A and B are shown apart, each in its own frame.
Chain A
Amino acid sequence: MQPDEILKNQLNYRHTLSQDGKYASELSTYLQITIANSYFVIPISEVGEVSEFLPIRPYPSEVAGHVGVINLRGKVIPVISMEQFGGRKESKPNSRIVILNTDTTASNSEQLALIVDSVKKISAPSAESGNVITLDNNPVRVLSGGLILESWGIKPCSR
């Protein structure tokens, strides 16, 4: 089975079609990320920055969905696992780190980090997170920090 077909099967997607059957014409800027041969896009407005790979400090106790923390210029940011989206546990030496700004509750705005294989800035039809857009004739799912946290059932708490 081709990777594209696997992706199609994996995703329960909804195309953002307008009434006349054409794709919505409005374009948005996304960060396209690659994780183990799967492609996803994240709205650029959610992306804080993309960093070279940084050493990850694992938590003293293993918790599902959590990889550990990184030190980004003195700020300690939690790394969230992408295993739900086909990511591996271990990272490749040339992996990148994507920092997302999440505004998941009214009282908290936190940052999270993801380990990805590669990144690219692209323009594509606007769509809500969780939806699927077509990119180079391939279905690609729109992700967001909130969606990734939700996939693990992680709820932000105040500390």
Chain B
Amino acid sequence: MIFRRVSEWPSWNWRGQWEEMEKLRRQMDVLSGGLSGRLFAETSAGVFPLMNMTEDSDHYYVRAELPGIKADVLDISVTGDTLSISGERMILEEKENAKYHRRERESGKFSRIVGLPSQVDTTKVEASTTDGILKVILPKSEAAKPKQITVKGE
């Protein structure tokens, strides 16, 4: 039997619980992904736009595929550890006499908030779009950066 005191839970708040759930789900996805032979298990939050987050030692990178969305209609804001992106994808109506054979591209509004794994330096966040990909670069705050500790020999 596992006994764990409440105080030992990693951050006892709603986000902490959410992250625990996410982690569990991700692990299950990895399991099922492994069975079906997929290289990457996708963990979709089911909210548009789908995002990929990566990190290196100094930054988090958030990317989303937003084809045909101009940078100026995107509304991006960052607090210490959340990133919110909202906007609207508009598809212009073509000429009136145009007869549609296929209409698979969708338009509409979207809004999404993602929790970041740690605090970021909100003053240095950069966002850009290239070829329909939004890329947000979030520098980790000093406290969240990994520190190289040198061991002194005597």
Bound pair: A and B? no
Binding site for A on B (CB under 8 A): none
* Chain A interface (Cβ < 8 Å from any Cβ of B): none
